[in-house]
Amino acid sequence: MSRNTKKKIVIAEDDDAILELVTIRLELAGYHAIGARTGFQALERVRSTQPDALILDIGLPQLDGFGVLAQLGRRVETMPVCMLTARHSSSDVRRAILMGARAYLTKPFNDQSLVDRVARLFEKPKSSGDVWQL
What is the number of structural domains in the chain?
1
Is 65 among the domain residues? yes
Contact 37, 19 (CB under 8 A): yes
* Domain, as residue range, for 86: 3-123
Q: Is residue 47 one of the residues assigned to a domain?
A: yes
**pLDDT, tens digit, for every residue of 37-75?**
999 999 999 999 999 999 999 999 999 999 999 999 988
133 belongs to a structural domain:
no
Q: Is 55 within a domain?
A: yes
Assign residue 61 the CATH number of its domain: 3.40.50.2300
Digit-by-digit pLDDT tens for the chain (134 residues) are 444 479 999 999 999 999 999 999 999 999 999 999 999 999 999 999 999 999 999 999 999 999 999 999 988 889 999 999 998 899 999 999 999 999 999 999 989 999 999 999 988 766 555 554 44
Buried b (16+ CB within 10 A) or exposed e, 85-95: bebeeeebbeb
Residue 79 domain-assigned (yes or no): yes
